Each structure stands twice: as C-alpha cells, then as structure tokens.
Amino acid sequence: MKYSMNKITKYRLSAAAIITVLGLSGCSDNNNSPSPEPTPTPTPDTLMQTYSITVTNLTANQPMSPIAIAAHSSDVMLWQAGETANIALEKIAEGGDASDVAAIEGIGVTASGAGILMPGMSETITITLDEADIANLSVATMLVNTNDAFTGLNSYDISMLAVDAMVNMKGMVYDAGTEANSEEKGTMPGPADGGEGFNAARDDVDFVHIHPGVLTMYDGLMDSVLTPSHRFDNPAIAISISRTQ
C-alpha cells in the first residue's frame, strides 16, 4: 500500500501530539507527596539572674518593719527628697506596710523579709529576675518606734553586677513628712508604744526629708513615750547586694 507524503506527515504530527499530551499529563502540578515541615526557629532560653540582699539593723533600739525589696525600671523612684511621699511609701513609713509597693507602675518584682528586723540583726533576701528585667533595686523599711521614719536604698542600678560581685552601702533615715513627730502615746506602732500605724490624714510638712531624730521626754517633749535608747544615728542600716547567678 502506498501512502502519500501528506498522510505520512499527518500521522507523524498526530503521534507527536499524543506523546506531548501524555508527557504533559505526567508532569502535572498536582504533587501528592507531602511538603517537608518547616524547621522551627529555636526559642532562646530565658536567662535568669539571682541576687542576694542582706540588710543589717545598725540602731540601738529601733526595730525595723519587714524589709521591702522592689526590682523595677530605671525611671522609678520609691521616694524623692523634697517631694510628696506616695501612698505606698506613707504606708511603709507610718505602719511598716509594704503591700502597696507592687502596684507602683514600673515595679516588676517585689519581695519581703520574714518579719521584724531587731537591732543588731541581719536578714538576707534572695530574688531571681529575668535578664531582660534587670534594672534598678530599691529597699525600704520603717523604724517602728517613730511616727514616720524610714530608711533604705532608692533605685540602685544592679544591671552591671557580674556573677559573684558585691556592693556594700549604708542607708540614712528619712522622714516621710506625712505624720507629725509627736512621739505621743498611741501614734507609733512599735513596742515602745503599740499605737496605730498608717493614718490617711497628713498633718506634717508633706514632703520627704532627712529625719531630724527623735526628741524624747528627756529633751523637753513632755508627751513623748520614747526614751534616749530610741535615738538613732545615721546611717541606720547596712545593705549588701551580691549577684550569685
């Protein structure tokens, strides 16, 4: 049988078309094999730093309220000399109550001592902080045989302390300026009186300043229930901060 060249050419073109279609079908975009799961980016471990704060009462007869510790941003000041005391500080200075400190904006971590710190005694409090939160540290405590005297450390930068490094400081006594230093019976929470603590009424200069010291009845303050043993010199406390981890 003889075929014309036109028919042969048509057969070749048809075969080529079929092969092309079959080839395209074999190269379909529908790939049923599962895509590999993306490799998750590892989350870096949270780095924690641990600090030990030791407070020593240097007074002769001024027990101190449970030590309050606060770690916070660098722009926070628990008190500022010459300025009005905030409510949290007033409660510490008049009644030894530090429960409001945690509510101050910018404060991240708080800790408290186990109880009253007696004269000559020391207490160590340990706090652990996320490395990202390391900034400043404050310490505060009330001299309980006074109307509104307190001492401590205000916004100290601990971010540069290396592991096993230590700093030592001492604290002056401040007057919160929120309650008159009458030393009268019923006005002080310490064992010399056993009177009230915090009172929302403010009847003093209403700004923080260095405490002038107690007078006692022996210096002419006839209504005072304090004695010369309750006097104090500055500094009133020693503070040691060490980074242990």
Residue 227 placed within a domain: yes
How far is Cα 133 from Cα 72, in angstroms, rounded to an integer?
8
Higher pLDDT, 45 or 148: 148
pLDDT for 9 beyond 90: no
Beta-carbon contacts of residue 37 (< 8 Å; ≥ 6 apart)? none
Q: What CATH number should be reported for the domain holding residue 144? A: 2.60.40.2130
Q: What local confidence, expressed as pLDDT, does residue 135 receive?
A: 86
**137, 81, 77: which is closest to 111 by C-alpha?**
137
Residue 6, domain member (yes or no): no
CA count, 13 A, side-chain hemisphere, 154: 15
* 111 located within any domain: yes
Let me know if residue 41 belongs to a domain: no
The pLDDT score that the predictor gives to residue 131 is 79
pTM of the full structure: 0.81
In angstroms, the Cα distances linking 26 to 13, 16, 22, 65 are: 20, 15, 6, 84
12-31 pLDDT, tens digit each = 544 444 444 434 444 445 55
Per-residue confidence (pLDDT) for residue 11, from 0 to 100: 44
**Which residues on adjacent β-strands are paired with residue 173?**
151
Q: What is the pLDDT of residues 93-147, one digit of tens each?
A: 999 999 999 999 999 999 999 999 999 999 999 999 987 777 899 999 999 999 9
Task: Say if 4 falls within a structural domain.
Answer: no
Would you say residue 176 lies in a domain?
yes
Q: What's the total number of domains in the chain?
A: 1
Render pLDDT for 135-158 as a digit per residue (tens, 0 to 9).
899 999 999 999 999 999 999 999
Residue ranges in 27-133 assigned as alpha helix (H): 87-95
- Structural domain for 121, as ranges: 48-243
Give the residue-averaged pLDDT of 39-57: 81
In a domain, 60, yes or no: yes
Q: Is 213 a domain residue?
A: yes
DSSP string, 157-217: E-TTPPTT-EEEEEE-EEE-SSS----BTTS--STTT------S---S--S-EE------G
CB atoms under 10 Å from CB of 112, counted, come to 16
Using CA atoms, how far apart are residues 41 and 51, in angstroms rounded to an integer?
31
Contact between 102 and 139 under an 8 Å Cβ cutoff? The reply is no
